[in-house]
Amino acid sequence: MDKQSARVRAQEIVSRMTVEEKISQLLYDAPAIERLGIPAYNWWNEACHGVARAGVATVFPQSIGMAATFNPALVYEVADAISTEARAKYNRSVAYGDRGIFKGLTFWAPNINIFRDPRWGRGQETCGEDPFLTSAITAAFIKGLQGDGEFYKATACAKHFAGHSGPERLRHGFNAEISKKDLYETYLPAFYHAVKAGVAGVMGAYNRTNGEPCCASPTLMEILRKNWGFDGYFVSDCGAICDIYEGHHYTDDLVHAAAAALNAGCELNCGDAYLSLVEAYESDLVTEEAITDAAVRLYTIRVLLGEFEEKRPYADTPYSAVSCKAHKELNLRAAEETLVLLENKNGFLPLDPETPRRIAVVGPNAMSVTALEGNYNGHADEYVTVADGIRRVFPRAEITVADGAPLFQDERRRWDGFCDLESEGAAAAAGADVTVLCLGLDRGVEGEDLGYENEFTDYGDRKTTALPACQMKLAEAVCNACENVVVVVMCGSAADLGERVRTHAKAVIHAWYPGALGGLAVARAIAGAFSPSGKLPITFYSADTELPDMKSYDMTGRTYRFDARKPLYPFGYGLSYTRFVYGVPELTGSDKNAVRLAVNVRNDGSVDALEKVQCYARYTDSRTTTPRLQLCAVEPVFLSAGETKRVGLTVDRFWLKAVLQDGSRVDPDGGVRLFVGGMQPDEAAEGLVLPD
């Protein structure tokens, strides 16, 4: 069904409602209208990396890990699997009359805010710091989730529009001051490409952007609706309309806040503020036309989901699709591609799983299920922790497991027996040939508005890129006790292990929050069942690097694009068990929309491996500052040992434009150079000069 036909049908349905009934349908928990035979519908559902909060579902790697795959095609597969499970669960929920929260098909994902500061707690939900990578991953996720059939399989909702990436403590009243240049160069491109990908929904942010609450911002709505042609629905973040009055003091009361949001173009309220629209209507603050238009937009989505069809689309999706074998296989493959090998001294990894040895698995995340899940997660019917994975993959080894430290030292709970365990961890390591040291965080330490502060976290935002002191104390004890240490870090952002640990560790794997089978993926990587291919979607800074104030949204000194300082590990970095050799890239085609390149890539080692070919642009313009580099294409390629393939890359010219102070995109007057390789080019690289 095309959108115009769906809108006509939605208009017919809404035309039979009273004003009060129309208003009731603008709430996320829209009640049934029994006299019209319309069932209740709850719009709130989550699917950041799997169907969330509604029981068992496949728990895929957290979004930041999926971004680390640098593989949009894989993300499409994952999103398609998520929507299959969504339909399976929806079919059974409806059959049993359950239309409650987290049971619908309108998912409020993906989170496509730019991870501009590695301390932001919600960065784990995003696709990283780069606008191109975020846009590419976002488009793939949206298309995979929504499908390409006559009806939506499920719907995606890009959030949070716009300029939202911390600080968590202040989000309900914070004003993000963003120049037009930064807005159009960094913060808006992913939303623009989400609209071009056909996203059904957009969610407004809690904060103000340049003085206007995002859920009642005429400026943002003009960009979204008029300039970009977005024709889906707009939903407030949960409680954000109350914030217009209570947090931002933008209006004198809740009635005016609700009216401001609706009149700006926010059709759906997550919360109950839109109950005030009845009074707003009676006070002539909103018109029936505005209420009707909002209801029609929402019902257009419900029509396109097939809710009112005599035979609902995808009704034959069986419940057995939930956490099925095929999805678990995909989950493991996804987890494997998320892993980023940061260090591998003298080729220490992989370890032969058939060689008898003593292996210690030590650390607060060695047996942690929570660290597999991330946040905005469902519940898997099977979890494989790192300790479990090592047991499965190294059957001939003698395995010892120890906590060694709490995730975070809380002095108020020293009586619980799980603090001061360094001696346990050191003892396990001392008796081992190899120690797998499992450090990191979980959603109880970094995440969304956790509501507390201590020396490590500020309402979910981290105060440093170092790990908690208790973990660093354990890490040093383990390094003192065991010569061969492999560090596995599970967290949603950068982690500085400190000079002592970095120097001593034979290998370091950054595993993010790798999903339900993440521990098996880690063990298989250590054993060489595959070669790691993940790449960093964010820059890793050392803990003593002075970062800009999180409250500043100026991009100067932030991310690889605008910070020339040498990081611990750069954006796009990730080692392999083999060596790839790149030929000289060649221009194969060019038009006003895109540039096409080709490059020969050879696997020069003895291990079959997947490589993530990256293309960066460097350009200058006399009228403005430009990024030092800009990722503009990625292409995964699998190469057997000794094999050479010619890899094609297409660069959208959108990413080769300089952004002026007024936000306009222009051809850079200083020319464009393109660089192709497995990571960022160095400063001496010459690159391919594009002809004028």
Q: Which residues are catalytic?
A: 237
Residue 14 sits at φ, ψ, to 5 deg, of: -70, -30
* Rounded distance between C-alpha atoms, residue 482 and residue 613, angstroms: 37
* Residue 192 CA neighbour count, 13 Å, CB half: 14
Q: State phi, psi for 558 to the nearest 5 degrees.
A: -120, 140
- Alpha carbons 107 and 160: distance in angstroms, whole number: 13
The DSSP code sequence of 569-590 is: B-TT--B-SS-EEE---EEEEE
Q: Which of 366, 448, 637, 342 is nearest to 62 (CA)?
A: 448
Alpha helices in 197-233 (DSSP H): 218-221
Residue 159 near residue 112 (C-beta atoms within 8 A)? yes
Selection from 642, 592, 588, 640 nearest residue 615 by Cα: 588
The residues near 23 (Cβ < 8 Å, ≥ 6 apart) are 274, 275, 277, 278, 281, 291
Pairing of strands 485-490, 434-440: parallel
Question: At 551, is the secondary structure helix, strand, or coil?
Answer: coil
Q: What share of the chain is helix, strand, coil (3-state, %, to 5)?
A: 35, 20, 45
Q: Which residues contact 141 (CB under 8 A, 6 or more apart)?
A: 75, 76, 78, 79, 109, 110, 156
267 backbone dihedrals φ, ψ, rounded to 5°: -80, -35
- Strands 507-510, 485-490: pairing is parallel
CA 389 – CA 448 distance, rounded (Å): 29
Look up residue 539 and give its DSSP letter. Answer: -
Main-chain dihedrals φ then ψ at residue 487, nearest 5 degrees: -95, 130
Q: What is the 3-state secondary structure (H, E, C) of 403-446?
A: CCCCCCCCHHHHHHCCCCCHHHHHHHHHCCCEEEEEEECCCCCC
| Sheet containing strand 688-689, strands side by side | 630-639, 609-619, 672-677, 688-689
Q: What is the CA radius of gyration of the chain?
A: 25
Which residues share a beta bridge with 437? Answer: 362, 487
Q: Which CA distances in Å does 60 have to 152, 373, 378, 625?
A: 22, 8, 9, 39
What's the 3-state SS for 490-517?
ECCCCCECCHHHHHHCCEEEECCCCCCC
Q: In 3-state terms, what secondary structure has residue 395?
A: coil
